[in-house]
């Protein structure tokens, strides 16, 4: 193979559509623009979302919700997920990211009391709910801030 012999695959390149070149082409006369109206004229256009003066959809529908750009990104981790994320009996942010229990880079990770914990774990540097803390300690583990 040489650089001067490389060609695109068969059928990969199509000729451009030549409109307004007679009725035999199938795109003669109005050239696919229909009859009259704004779209038939050269230079005729409308803004995105413009509905001919009617109140546009994006303004008819009520606004809803709010996303705080300054708010902390929080993730919840269950007790059953903690067992999978433990490395040598210790659960911390790096372990959660490494085991892909938590995705991205959250600002705050909180352990909640859902599921069961069967082994003693040390939870380090995570927020823990009161119920989860008692469940961790009753399993023989401890919570370090």
pLDDT tens per residue, range 2-35:
999 999 999 999 999 999 999 999 999 999 999 9
Number of domains in the chain: 1
Has this prediction a pTM greater than 0.85?
no
15 token code pair:
């000729």
Buried b (16+ CB within 10 A) or exposed e, 10-32: eeeeeeeeeeeeeeeeebeeeee
* 89 contacts: CB under 8 Å, gap ≥ 6: 119, 120, 121, 122
Which of the pair, 74 or 46, is modelled with greater confidence? 74
34, part of any domain:
no
Model confidence band, residue 56 (pLDDT cutoffs 50, 70, 90): very high
User: Percentage of the chain with pLDDT > 90?
Assistant: 70
What average pLDDT is seen over the chain?
Answer: 91
Looking at residue 46, what is its pLDDT?
Answer: 78
Hey, which residues does 49 pair with through a beta bridge? none
| H or E element that contains 112 | strand 108-112
For the cut 80, the answer to whether the pLDDT of residue 83 exceeds it is yes
112, part of any domain:
yes
81, part of any domain:
yes
**What CATH number corresponds to the domain at position 131?**
3.100.10.10
99, part of any domain:
yes
Sign of CA dihedral 117, 122, 128, 129: positive
CA 86 to chain centre: 28
For the cut 90, the answer to whether the pLDDT of residue 86 exceeds it is no
53, part of any domain:
no
Strand 142-144's sheet: what is its strand order? Answer: 90-91, 122-124, 142-144
Domain region containing 110: 74-144
119, part of any domain:
yes
Between 31-40, 43-52, 126-135, the lowest mean confidence (pLDDT) is in 43-52
């Amino acid at each position: 193979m040489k650089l001067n012999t490389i060609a695109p695959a068969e059928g990969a390149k199509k000729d451009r559509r030549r409109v307004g070149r007679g009725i035999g082409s199938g795109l003669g006369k109005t050239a696919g623009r229909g009859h009259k109206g704004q779209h038939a004229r050269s230079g005729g256009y409308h803004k995105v979302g413009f509905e001919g003066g009617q109140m546009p959809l994006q303004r008819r529908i009520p606004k809803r919700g709010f996303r705080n750009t300054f708010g902390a990104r929080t993730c919840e981790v269950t007790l059953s997920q903690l067992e999978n994320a433990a490395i040598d009996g210790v659960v911390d942010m790096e372990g959660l990211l490494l085991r892909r229990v938590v995705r991205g880079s959250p600002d705050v990770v909180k352990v909640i009391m859902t599921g069961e914990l069967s082994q003693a774990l040390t939870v380090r540097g995570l927020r823990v709910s009161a119920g989860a803390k008692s469940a961790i300690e009753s399993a023989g583990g401890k919570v370090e801030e």
